Amino acid sequence: MKLLADETRLRSLILLRREGELCVCELTHTLGLSQPTISRHLATLREAGVVQNRREGLWMYYSLYQDLNCWAHDILDSIVQSAEGIEPYTSDQTLLCNMPNRPGAVCCA
Tell me the per-residue pLDDT of 77-108, one tens digit each, with 9 for 90 and over.
999 999 999 999 999 999 999 999 888 664 45
| pLDDT at residue 12 tops 90 | yes
| pLDDT at residue 13 tops 70 | yes
Tell me the per-residue pLDDT of 68-77, one tens digit each, with 9 for 90 and over.
999 999 999 9
Classify strands 59-64 and 51-56 as parallel, antiparallel or unpaired. antiparallel
Burial state string for 87-109 with b = 16 or more CB within 10 A and e = fewer than 16: eebeebbebbeebeebeebeeee
DSSP-assigned letters across all residues of 3-22 = GGGSHHHHHHHHHHHHHSEE
Q: Which domains does the chain have, with CATH numbers?
A: 3-97 (1.10.10.10)
- The amino acid at residue 40 is R
CA distance 98 to 75: 28
Tell me the per-residue pLDDT of 55-71, one tens digit each, with 9 for 90 and over.
998 889 999 999 999 99
CA distance 54 to 81: 27
Mean pLDDT of the chain: 91
pTM of the complete model: 0.89
